[in-house]
Structure 1
Amino acid sequence: MNIQKGIDRIKLDEKLPAMPWYVQKFIDYKLPDLSPSTLLEYIRDYDTFLSWLRAEGLSTAEANRGVTLEELEKLHMDSITGFRLFLTTKRDGANSRVTISRKLSSLRSLFHYLSQIAEDENFYPLLKRNIMAKVEIKRIHKPKDTAAKLKGKLLEDDELLEFIGYIHEGYGRDIEHNKQALYAYEQNKERDACIASLILNSGLRVSEVVNLNLDDLDLANKLLYVFRKGNNDETFKVPVYFREQAKDELSLYLSIRQQRYRMSKREKALFVALPNGSHEGKRMTKRAIQAMIIKYAKRYGKPSLTVHKLRHSFATDYYLQNDIYKTKEQLGHASTETTEVYAHLTDKTMSEAIERRTDS
């Protein structure tokens, strides 16, 4: 099983007992079709909603697992409006419009299942009245809007190479007076530059990078075999090509990997870390890679740059030389609608290219 999916499946199994029986039934129904990672997000959304119901006195349950179907049936539109307002203004951090839309969609999926699919012993729906059927959820993720938010926050043109070079050398110069930070940097700079280069030269997601094993790499053919998001066949890995630049970085990293990180023979991970106090390297986590890119990005002068924006940076650059269908396949998108973001991101570049052609 995909490493991240395995971790999320364990977390899902841990959290399910705290949910009402009908939520557990819904998760069982969805498990063959959705990844544990997606279902874990559902559980987190339901936990927020059920806790809010209890806090507002809309349920008399002492714990979330005790919230009844009858209490869900008695909800009014004012209740859903109140929940939406709570998500917008809650003290521990207001949710964005995208997050609110996702949470409401999670609830709609649950309520639809309970009212239209699940049955009691007399073949009647489990939920007799579905308040969420009245809730209109507007589409938030418009490619043009997403592109507008990303403009100026990605690496462009020469910056793709400059950022990798900065990880190799520039960062070390910037922290040379911090001995502890410098030691950690010297230990990991080849690996860190390799990860950044691989994403900037292939467009892999961070979860796909985390899941890579040594035997997924075909260095000679510049090819990786990857568990792609949304693919529920746990045995099938998709071939993904990477550029020559990443081949050089991978070769350098592989030359120091075993000696630097001292993995046991059982460790199959391509990218590993040696935690403080540990004697052998272990697979890097998603969080560690995210934190690592943010660390370098801040010093480089791009504080808004994240590991996912490295993928966007590759995609924008790749789209300029290829059509939308090749870009879709390279990135592993389910539809070209998602890939349209890069058409909007490259509008300015394409207009400048036309002007240069006219002048020549």
Structure 2
Amino acid sequence: MSIQKLSDRKHLEQKLPSMPWFVQQFIDYKLPDLSPSTLLEYVRDYESFFGWLRAEGLSQAEGNADITLLDLETLHMDSVVGYRLHLTTRTEGTNSKITVSRKLSALRSLFHYLSQIAEDENFYPLLKRNIMAKVEIKRIHKPKDTAARLKGKILEEDELLEFVGYILEGYGRDVEGNKQAYYAFQLNRERDACIAGLILNSGLRVSEIVNMNMDDLDLNNKLLYVFRKGHNDETFKTPVYFREQAKDDLQLYLSLRQSRYKTPKKEKALFVTKPNGSQEGKRMTKRAIQAMIIKYAKRFGKPYLTVHKLRHSFATDYYLQNDIYKTKEQLGHASTETTEVYAHLTDKTMSEAIERRFES
């Protein structure tokens, strides 16, 4: 199991006792099919909803664990509308449309389970009336819209190589007047260029980069073995290929990993850091990698660039040379619907190619 999944499983187990018994039963039912990370988000969404029910006087329960099935069964449609308004208009922590859609979907899953799957001792549904079945959840993520938001905000063509080169050399020239920044650059430039180059030559997610161990790397065959998002088989790691361009950066970083970061033999992480005041290297965090890419992106003149946009950059470049099915597999998408984003992103390039063919 990945580091993140282990952490989320622990938090999930800590939170479940504060949930009603029927939510605990639902989580147990979903556990074989969904990751601990997804289920933890479900429980957080239920915490929010149950807290709102009690605050609005729609339940007399003293705590979330005391919420009853009758509380859910007797909800009116205007209560659901009120909760949606609460999520979108509250003064603190207002949610985006995507977040609201996700929270309502989590509730629909729970209500569906209670009304269609779970049974009492007499074989009747636990929930006799499902108010959430009436709630229409509009699809927010349309590939064409996502592509429109990404256009001009990813690396294209030669920029993929240029960005890695900038991390390795250019950034140092830009900050050489700042002793602290220059020292950090000299310490980490090979590692940072390696991470950026690996994402730009494989399309890995930041979580996959963070969770990777030394024995997950097969340098000779240009292969990495990773726990893919959404794959709940905790015994299987998916093989993911990377391009030749990333191989040299990996070899250089590996030659420095132990000596530069004083990495102990017990540390299995592929990418490590040596925090200030620490005597030895340890696994990098997701937040550290995200902050690192943003730091270089700003100096590179692409302030909107993030780790995930590096993944989008690879995917767009890869899709131009391969079909949608190969791109789906390389990125670890659950369906080609998600991969359609790159078809829309490459529309301009494809149209230019048609014109060139016509002109010739």
Which of the five TM-score ranges fits, normalised by the shorter chain? over 0.9
State the shift of 1:269 in Å. 0.9
State the shift of 1:98 in Å. 1.4
Aligned to 2:256: 256
State the shift of 1:122 in Å. 2.8
State the shift of 1:239 in Å. 1.4
Report the Cα distance in structure 2 between the residues aligned to 1:115 and 1:295, rounded to whole angstroms.
Answer: 50
Aligned to 1:27: 27
Q: Is the 8 A contact 2:205 2:311 kept in 1?
A: yes
- 1:83 equivalent to 2:74? Answer no
Q: Which runs of 5+ in 1 are unaligned?
A: none
Task: Note the 1:181-260 alignment, pairs <5 A.
Answer: 181-260=181-260
State the shift of 1:196 in Å. 0.7
Task: Note the 1:103-182 alignment, pairs <5 A.
Answer: 103-182=103-182
Report the Cα distance in structure 2 between the residues aligned to 1:177 and 1:77, rounded to whole angstroms.
Answer: 63
Aligned to 2:272: 272
Aligned to 1:305: 305
Query: 3-state DSSP class of the match of 1:7?
Result: helix
Q: Is the 8 A contact 2:271 2:283 kept in 1?
A: yes
Report the Cα distance in structure 2 between the residues aligned to 1:201 and 1:115, rounded to whole angstroms.
Answer: 47
Aligned to 2:354: 354
State the shift of 1:276 in Å. 2.1
Query: 3-state DSSP class of the match of 1:5?
Result: helix
**Cα separation, partners in 2 of 1:336 and 1:247, compared to 1, 3 Å:** same
| Structure 2 letter corresponding to 1:110 | L
Query: 3-state DSSP class of the match of 1:102?
Result: helix
- Please, what TM-score do these two structures have when normalized by structure 2? 0.96
| Structure 2 letter corresponding to 1:256 | L
Q: Which runs of 5+ in 2 are unaligned?
A: none
Q: Deviations over 1:241-274 (max 9, x none)?
A: 1111111110111111101111221111101111
Q: Tell me the C-alpha RMSD between the 2 structures.
A: 1.4
Task: Note the 1:41-120 alignment, pairs <5 A.
Answer: 41-120=41-120
Report the Cα distance in structure 2 between the residues aligned to 1:201 and 1:100, rounded to whole angstroms.
Answer: 34
State the shift of 1:90 in Å. 2.3
State the shift of 1:185 in Å. 2.4
Aligned pair count reads 360
Query: 3-state DSSP class of the match of 1:265?
Result: coil
Larger displacement relative to structure 2 (162-171 or 243-252)? 162-171
| Structure 1 letter corresponding to 2:235 | T
**Cα separation, partners in 2 of 1:89 and 1:324, compared to 1, 3 Å:** same
State the shift of 1:94 in Å. 2.2
Report the Cα distance in structure 1 between the residues aligned to 2:278 and 2:60, rounded to whole angstroms.
Answer: 48
- Please, what TM-score do these two structures have when normalized by structure 1? 0.96
State the shift of 1:178 in Å. 2.8
Q: Is the 8 A contact 2:258 2:264 kept in 1?
A: no
Query: 3-state DSSP class of the match of 1:321?
Result: coil
Report the Cα distance in structure 2 between the residues aligned to 1:60 and 1:184, rounded to whole angstroms.
Answer: 56
Report the Cα distance in structure 2 between the residues aligned to 1:126 and 1:136, rounded to whole angstroms.
Answer: 23
